[in-house]
Chains A and B, each alone.
Chain A
Amino acid sequence: MTVNSLHYHYDVPGDDFTRAGVASGAVKQILKQLGLNPETVRKMSIALYEAEINMVIHGGGGVIDIDIDDDKIVALVSDQGPGIEDLDLAMQEGWSTASEQERNLGFGAGMGLPNMKKYSDELEINSEVGVGTSVKITVNIEKSGEQRD
């Protein structure tokens, strides 16, 4: 299958918690319609959904840019929020700075960044306190019919 190169952009508002995850849902539909391998779709959808939720809750919203080519899907999730003070600590399972509001949404168990890492093939996080955070999620496209050992 040849996808060539596709680009999608989403503005994610930071003031409506109930809509957190809408962009990820839209991306999932696109990936499905492209006929990509279900496991590829699943990995990107979950990693992106976690990133979007975190961006809404901690970053005050932001933007999502998706690039799809023949070999991989790259999602860049960027906010201009408070930034992450200690990234190593934030990567630990169970560590969380979540508010009551995040917990009410069913998140805030300290699994966000670990989940993004778990489901992405490459995860790059750039964060500066007071400036913002960008998370780059790369998922390789497994060609259908190609079996993993």
Chain B
Amino acid sequence: MLIRDIMNVLDAELLTGEELLDVDVHTACGSDMMSDVLAYVKDQAVLVTGLLNQQAIRTAAMMDMVCVIFVRGKRPDQKIIECAKENGIAVMTTTHRMFTACGLLYKAGLNGGMKVK
């Protein structure tokens, strides 16, 4: 699935990362808890989160993720967007809640990766 497809599925607004719209992604992770993302994520390209701060972006960058989606209509400030630009991460916001956003992406073909051992 392309990042532009995610935008359509979630009826999301892209805030930065126009140049990444045609990047192909296969897996995603939904979490507000960044330590859990660091503990369990492997090869996931998309982070769906309600955590609105620079740590969401930095955590995604550490995990080599390429797209962060803020749910529940959360809108990052300019500093967060700048942080994403520096790290080459596309950022979008959707008014869907976490569960719905993850469900829609899953239904559209995004995978959640492996089970936790």
Contacts and interface: CB of A to CB of B under 8 A. Distances in A.
A binds B: yes
Interface string A110-126: 11101100100000000
B87 A111 contact: no
Given A18-B79, A42-B64, A46-B63, A105 B53 contact: yes
B35 interface: yes
Nearest to B64: A42
Contacts of B36: 109, 111
Classify chain B: how many residues form its interface, as a range: 20 to 34
Main secondary structure of the interface of B (DSSP, over half): helix
Contact of A106 (B33, B62, B87): B33
A21 B35 contact: no
B35 A50 contact: yes
B79 A106 contact: no
Main secondary structure of the interface of A (DSSP, over half): helix
Contacts of A38: 64
Interface in B57-105: 58-59, 61-64, 79, 87
Contacts of B35: 50, 106-112, 115
B86 to A, nearest CB: 8
A39 to B, nearest CB: 10
Contacts of B33: 106-107, 109
A28 B34 CA distance: 18
Most chain A CB within 10 A, of B35, B53, B59, is at: B35
A25 B55 contact: no
A106 B56 contact: yes
Contact of B34 (A22, A25, A105): A105
B39 A106 contact: no
Nearest to B57: A21
A133 B79 CA distance: 31
Contacts of B32: 106
Nearest to B33: A109
A110 B32 CA distance: 14
Interface of A: 18-22, 24-25, 28, 38, 42, 45-46, 49-50, 53, 104-112, 114-115, 118
